Amino acid sequence: MTTQPLPLLHARELPTTGEELRTAASTVNALIAELPATPSAPDLIRLRQVLAPDHYEPAGPQEAASLEEAFSEHDAFFGVARAHGSADLFLRALLIAEIDTALDLARTATSLSPAECSALVSGGSALLGRRRARDGSGDLVRPPEVRTALPADEHTAQQRWRSGHRLVFTHLQAITVTCGCAVHARTAAGQSAYLEDTVLFCTTAALAMRHAADFSPELYVRSIRPSMTPPHVGAGFSGLQTRDHHYLVQSLDSLGTRLLPDVVEGTTYRKFEEALGRLYAAHVHVCRRFGGDTNASLRMEASKEDSGTTGAERARQYAGLRLRKLGGRRPAA
The pLDDT value recorded for residue 186 is: 94
Task: Kindly state the average pLDDT of the residues 278-301.
Answer: 87
Residues forming a β-bridge with 177: none
The pLDDT value recorded for residue 329 is: 47
The pLDDT value recorded for residue 328 is: 45
Q: Is the pLDDT of residue 136 over 90?
A: no
Average pLDDT, the chain: 89
Task: Kindly state the average pLDDT of the residues 226-230.
Answer: 96
Q: Is the pLDDT of residue 135 over 60?
A: no
User: Which residues, 6+ apart, have CB-to-CB distance to 138 below 8 Å?
Assistant: 37, 125, 130, 131, 132
Tallying the residues shown for the chain, one arrives at 333
Q: SS3 sequence, 71-139?
A: HHHHHHHHCEEEEECCCHHHHHHHHHHHHHHHHHHHHCCCCCCHHHHHHHCCHHHHHCCCCCCCCCCCC
The pLDDT value recorded for residue 143 is: 86
201 in helix, strand or coil?
Answer: helix
pLDDT band at 154 (very low <50, low <70, confident <90, very high): very high
Task: Kindly state the average pLDDT of the residues 231-239.
Answer: 93
Q: Is the pLDDT of residue 190 over 90?
A: yes
Q: In sequence order, what DSSP letters do the residues of 49-64 get, joined into one string?
A: HHHS-S--EEP---S-
Higher pLDDT, 286 or 301: 286
pLDDT tens by residue, 241-250: 999 999 999 8
pLDDT tens by residue, 29-41: 999 988 877 778 8
pLDDT > 70: percent of the chain: 92
Task: Kindly state the average pLDDT of the residues 278-289.
Answer: 92
Task: Kindly state the average pLDDT of the residues 208-235.
Answer: 95
Which one-letter amino acid corresponds to residue 196?
E
Listed ranges 251-255, 278-282, 323-327; the one with the highest mean pLDDT: 278-282
The pLDDT value recorded for residue 132 is: 57
